[in-house]
Chain A
Amino acid sequence: MVILGEKLGQYRLDAKIGEGGMGVVYRARDEELNRDVAVKVLAAGMLEQLGKDHLLREAQTASALSHPNICTIYQVGRVDDGFYFVMELVEGQPLSELARASQLTTEAVTRYGVQIADALAHAHDRQIVHRDLKGANVVITKEGRVKVLDFGLARRLDSETVDAVTRMQASVERDRAIVGTLAYMAPEVLRGEGGGYPADIWALGILLYEAATGHLPFAGNTAYELCASILQQAPTSLPSSVPPSLTAAIMRCLTKDVKDRFQRASEVRSTLATIQSAAIVSEPRRDEPSGPRTLVLRGIQHLDVKNGDVLLLVGTTKGAFLLRSGRDRKQWQVAGPYFHGHAIYSLSYDGRNGRHRLWASTGSVLWGTYLRSSDDFGKTWTNPLEANIKFPPESGVSLKNIWKIALGPPGAQDTLYCGVEPAALFESHDTGETWSLVRGLFDHPHRPRWMPGQGGLCLHTILPHPTQPGRMHIAISAAGVYQTDDAGQSWQARNRGIRVTFMPERFPEFGQCVHKIVRHPDRPDRLFLQNHWGLYRSDDGAESWTDIAHSVPSDFGFAMAVHPHDPDCVYIVPMESDEFRCSPEGRLRVYRTRNAGGSWEALTRGLPQQSAYETVLRDGMVTDSLDPAGIYFGTRSGKLYASRDAGQSWKEIVNGLPQIVCVTSAVVAELPGSPSVPTPPLKRKRASPRKVPRRKAPSKRTTKFRVAKRKSPRARRQKRSRR
């Protein structure tokens, strides 16, 4: 008889911490090694039941198991006529209790499952079967580590006992120890066929089910009913909150036919690891259960975003990168690549109505393009099972790419738009949950005659009017600018004055390869446009366009951005030509106008001025909303440049990225749990229309250039490049 305070060998029994069918477990102090251990003293009769030699053999085998998720057996000793086992002291909560107490996330279920399966695989590889894997034998420590207890010490029920118990009509309350084991027993064991590795895998499936739902998959008021349920019935269906991938894995563990079950614990482990690390983890959003989420790992050190931080969202052809900095914008933290290997042509930040939602268009050459969102700055993203942006089947069109994700106007806080390839517009009025094709544009009579640009027929720019509901401007390469005044039901081409160099008619109604349009919210009827050859401004809401390309080395380019606080100030990055598509003369220059295109000045401080043949694409430049304004642009060679002083000086803040195709900025405000940052008052420049030189729009029959009219286009381009 064992008494508290008594010593068993070098172990002083300090407290009783558990009791079960096999015996009593004590917390003990190893007075020689000066550590706490657990001592399990076998119950009287266990030795007789299990057999001394067999017990010793199993304990010796189990003690050879050395695995972080297996409770280690240190020693076997004798006490009176019995045995005791000295084991690693594991303090924590049994998994079954944890699952019943709180709803475990799918990530937690797979995380625990991976560890249990890993422990099983370790043991199975050494020809050790647990035989009594159950919720009580799986403990989760406070550090979140799984410890599987009692390997090799399982109370194995002999066939007679099993047979007797399965016929028990008495309540399951009568012998919890046996019934607690029964609930995890595989059908083949109940049929007396013996258990082995597949029986352990069955038990693992029961554990996963229990962890995912908080209850067991088979039920019965008596042991007999419970066994009948296990033998004959399918497990109770898992709720829809459990993602299909995890459901499938659990169900495969619980396949009654052994040969259809997972054959190896290592296979279960890799399946659960796949679900956990690379694929679907079903997590309901905070406010509504919808959309499984993907936990994108791959060793990403996620951003620690705080109120007032400036974010840069950078899309490349091989993934997305997120950057953050404080308001001083001096040091940048970089995270990524997210969506490793995917082309990210558009990123957006929706900070309206208390949201802090990132949007990304993720394109796979193989599997299609999907719209995904994150509410935790990239830690988790939605992973839609169905494509959320897709053309109606009867349209005969299939999605190639999502080029732009745009927020709706100020009066429509839940509205978003997507511009796609082949050129079309999709809209959502429920914060992106559902999307529909804007038929007014898709069915436009011009559509059959729209031709693709070199990059495809893409709707790349979306500008909702800030003050006139229902009005919006879009730009398509190569169809031109279109305007709606009735929220997309009807559209009109708005390209008067924009020339085309690749069609016989120089100023057609539509067909222009417009690369970018921008406008400032304080002057919504003024727009600036970067064309495939040509820089333009409109002062009448896109009714007509005026050529403003002078004192620039080239009027070919892609990127354009307007100063956040000065409607007259616009930035561009000229490219030498449509053939070369790199910075002229190997000099990377940003050009700025501060008088709405009256004149342009080169901004080069900090930018390379030799051997810098860089390309900045149409969505590769952006400003932030701070004062002084931050300006950012990314190149096809994977460099990201930033200016903290509205372009006066530049600094390369990241290099070595894949080809950059889009850059978006955001300033984080009203982030819960983060201290607020006071916003200094802006020094806004008052727009001065008198500074804007008015130029007559060229007639369609004449083409005016800034240099000698009679020179060839090539000579004109060469002269421009020499500036």
Chain B
Amino acid sequence: MKVHFCIPRPLRPLTGGQSRVDVETPGRTLQDAFEVLFALYPGIHDRILDEKNEFRQHVNVFIGNTESRTLAGLATPLAPGTEISIIPAISGG
């Protein structure tokens, strides 16, 4: 099924400048969709996931309008046409 990733500006150099990447994923979960994205654009992986395969603390991944950590995280099932937004949290100092 096809899902859509919204790419934040700091990561767009890694996707050829694209702010929106459509992927065709053979699986049904958020993890499956990310694996397709990582295969297309390898640099994204380490920017948003740490060595424990968890989203970095200040990176939020929204499925529609819901943050994925409040759902099932990477195991969250997706529907065709789902919009997945990678959004840096307001942080820093």
Residues A246 and B51 in contact, CB atoms below 8 Å apart: no
Residues B14 and A244 in contact, CB atoms below 8 Å apart: yes
Q: Does B46 contact A (CB under 8 A)?
A: yes
Q: Does B61 contact A (CB under 8 A)?
A: no
Residues A274 and B17 in contact, CB atoms below 8 Å apart: yes
Query: Nearest chain-B residue to A244 (Cβ)?
Result: B41
In the assembled complex, how far is the CB of residue B14 from the closest CB belonging to chain A, in whole angstroms?
6
Residues A244 and B16 in contact, CB atoms below 8 Å apart: yes
Residues A398 and B43 in contact, CB atoms below 8 Å apart: no
Q: Does A604 contact B (CB under 8 A)?
A: no
Residues B56 and A390 in contact, CB atoms below 8 Å apart: no
**Which of B15, B16, B40, B91 counts the most chain A CB atoms within 10 A?**
B16
**Which of B18, B42, B54 counts the most chain A CB atoms within 10 A?**
B18
Q: Which of B41-58 contact A (CB under 8 A)?
A: 41-43, 45-48, 50-54, 56, 58
Q: Does A248 contact B (CB under 8 A)?
A: yes
How many cross-chain pairs have Cβ atoms below 8 Å apart between A and B?
Answer: 88
Interface size on A, residues (CB 8 A): 32
**Which of B17, B56, B89 counts the most chain A CB atoms within 10 A?**
B17
Residues A368 and B13 in contact, CB atoms below 8 Å apart: no
In the assembled complex, how far is the CB of residue B37 from the closest CB belonging to chain A, in whole angstroms?
12
Q: Does A271 contact B (CB under 8 A)?
A: yes
Q: How distant is the Cα of A393 from the Cα of B40 in the complex, in angstroms? A: 22
In the assembled complex, how far is the CB of residue A172 from the closest CB belonging to chain B, in whole angstroms?
31
Q: Which range holds the interface residue count of chain B?
A: 20 to 34
A396: chain B residues within 8 A (beta carbon):
52
Q: Does A413 contact B (CB under 8 A)?
A: no
Residues A278 and B42 in contact, CB atoms below 8 Å apart: no
B54: chain A residues within 8 A (beta carbon):
398
In the assembled complex, how far is the CB of residue B11 from the closest CB belonging to chain A, in whole angstroms?
8
Q: How distant is the Cα of A367 from the Cα of B43 in the complex, in angstroms? A: 11
Q: Does B26 contact A (CB under 8 A)?
A: no
Residues B51 and A247 in contact, CB atoms below 8 Å apart: no
A367: chain B residues within 8 A (beta carbon):
10-11, 47-48, 56, 59
Q: How distant is the Cα of A399 from the Cα of B54 in the complex, in angstroms? A: 12
Residues B16 and A399 in contact, CB atoms below 8 Å apart: no
Q: Which of A361-407 contact B (CB under 8 A)?
A: 365-368, 385-387, 390-393, 395-399
**Which of A248, A272, A395 counts the most chain B CB atoms within 10 A?**
A248
B53: chain A residues within 8 A (beta carbon):
393
Q: How distant is the Cα of A246 from the Cα of B13 in the complex, in angstroms? A: 9
A368: chain B residues within 8 A (beta carbon):
46-47, 50, 56
Contact partner of B88 (CB less than 8 A), chosen from A245, A279, A366, is A366
Residues B51 and A278 in contact, CB atoms below 8 Å apart: no
Residues A275 and B17 in contact, CB atoms below 8 Å apart: yes
The 8 A CB mask of B1-33 against A (1 = contact, 0 = none) is 000000000111111111000000000000000
Query: Nearest chain-B residue to A391 (Cβ)?
Result: B51
Q: How distant is the Cα of A270 from the Cα of B12 in the complex, in angstroms? A: 11
Q: Does A207 contact B (CB under 8 A)?
A: no
Q: How distant is the Cα of A390 from the Cα of B46 in the complex, in angstroms? A: 10
Q: Does A39 contact B (CB under 8 A)?
A: no
In the assembled complex, how far is the CB of residue A54 from the closest CB belonging to chain B, in whole angstroms?
37
Residues B46 and A280 in contact, CB atoms below 8 Å apart: no
Residues B13 and A399 in contact, CB atoms below 8 Å apart: no
Q: Does A252 contact B (CB under 8 A)?
A: yes
Q: Does A56 contact B (CB under 8 A)?
A: no
Q: Does A654 contact B (CB under 8 A)?
A: no
16 further interface pairs, Cβ-Cβ under 8 Å (given A248-B16, A366-B89, A397-B52): A244-B14, A248-B15, A248-B41, A251-B16, A252-B16, A271-B16, A271-B17, A275-B13, A278-B13, A279-B12, A279-B13, A280-B13, A366-B10, A366-B59, A367-B10, A398-B52
Give the interface of A toward B (CB within 8 A): 244-249, 251-252, 270-272, 274-275, 278-280, 365-368, 385-387, 390-393, 395-399
Give 30 A-B contacts (CB < 8 Å), ordered by A residue.
A244-B41, A244-B43, A245-B13, A245-B14, A245-B16, A246-B16, A248-B15, A248-B17, A248-B40, A248-B41, A249-B16, A252-B18, A271-B16, A274-B12, A275-B16, A279-B14, A280-B13, A365-B91, A365-B92, A366-B91, A366-B92, A367-B10, A367-B59, A385-B14, A385-B42, A385-B43, A386-B43, A386-B45, A395-B51, A396-B52
Give the interface of B toward A (CB within 8 A): 10-18, 40-43, 45-48, 50-54, 56, 58-59, 88-89, 91-92
The 4 A-B residue pairs whose C-beta atoms are closest, nearest first, are A279-B13, A248-B16, A271-B17, A398-B50
